[in-house]
Amino acid sequence: MKYSARRVATLLVAGTMIAASCGGSDDASDSGPEDAGPETETTGADTTDADTESTDTDATDDAATDDADDDAATDESDAGDATDDETTDGATPEDDGADAADIERGGTLTYLLEAESDTWDIPGANCAVSCITVMNAVADTMTTVNEDGEVEPFLLESFEANDDFTEFTLVMRDGVTFHDGTPADGAAVQRTLIEMASGVLAGQTYFDLANGAPNNPDNPGDAADSIVLNDDGSVTVSFANPYSTYGIFLANRGGWLVAPSFWDDPDRAGALMVATGPFIMTNQIRGEVTEVVANPDYWRDGADGEPLPYLDGVNFRPVPDVSTRRATMEAGDADVNMDSFGENQEFWNNEWVEAGNGVVDEDPAREVSYLMFNNSKPPFDDPQVRRALALCTDRNEYLTFREPGNDLANGPFAEGSPGYLEDPGFPQFDVDAGNALFDEIGRPDVINYGTTNVPANLITAELFADMWNRNCGLNVAIDQFEQAELITKAITGDFEVFAWRNHGQGHPGMEYVWWHSQFSTGLALNFGRIVDPELDDLLEQSWATADADELDAIGQDINVLFAENVYNMWLNTTEWANPYRQGVHGLQHLTLESGNPNQQSIAGRVELDEAWVES
Q: What is the pLDDT of residue 420?
A: 93
Tens digit of each residue's pLDDT (9 = 90 or more) over 579-599: 999 999 999 988 888 888 877
Q: What is the pLDDT of residue 94?
A: 43
Contact between residue 315 and residue 112 where contact means Cβ atoms under 8 Å apart: no
> ∠ at Cα 356 (352, 132), nearest 5°?
60
* pLDDT surpasses 90 at 472: yes
- Does the 7-154+251-615 domain belong in CATH 3.40.1410.10? no
Contact between residue 126 and residue 135 where contact means Cβ atoms under 8 Å apart: no
Calculate mean pLDDT across residues 451-472: 95
Of 193, 162, 179, 186, give the one whose Cα is nearest residue 255.
Answer: 193
DSSP letter (8 states) at residue 407: P
Rounded CA separation 300/280 (Å): 15
Q: What is the pLDDT of residue 343?
A: 80
Calculate mean pLDDT across residues 396-424: 91
Of 46, 111, 108, 607, give the one whose Cα is nearest residue 317.
Answer: 111
Rounded CA separation 371/437 (Å): 20
Q: What is the pLDDT of residue 612?
A: 97
Percentage with pLDDT > 90 across the chain: 64
Q: What is the pLDDT of residue 101?
A: 61
Q: How confident is the model at residue 98 (pLDDT cuts 50, 70, 90)?
A: low
Q: What is the pLDDT of residue 367?
A: 83
- Does the 155-250 domain belong in CATH 3.30.390.10? no
Q: What is the pLDDT of residue 509?
A: 86
Compute the mean pLDDT over every residue in the chain, rounded to the nearest whole number: 85
| Cβ contacts of 466 within 8 Å, gap of 6 or more | none
Rounded CA separation 468/381 (Å): 19
DSSP letter (8 states) at residue 180: T
Calculate mean pLDDT across residues 404-421: 90
Q: What is the pLDDT of residue 456?
A: 87
Q: What is the pLDDT of residue 100?
A: 60
Q: What is the pLDDT of residue 438?
A: 99
Domain ranges for the chain = 7-154+251-615, 155-250
For 422, counting Cβ atoms within 10 Å of its Cβ (0-12 exposed, 13-18 middle, 19+ buried), the class is exposed
Rounded CA separation 251/323 (Å): 32
* pLDDT surpasses 60 at 73: no
* pLDDT surpasses 70 at 304: yes
Q: How confident is the model at residue 202 (pLDDT cuts 50, 70, 90)?
A: confident
Of 129, 84, 143, give the one whose Cα is nearest residue 417.
Answer: 84
Q: What is the pLDDT of residue 523?
A: 85
Rounded CA separation 39/514 (Å): 9
Count of beta carbons in the 10 Å neighbourhood of residue 384? 14
pTM (predicted TM-score): 0.78
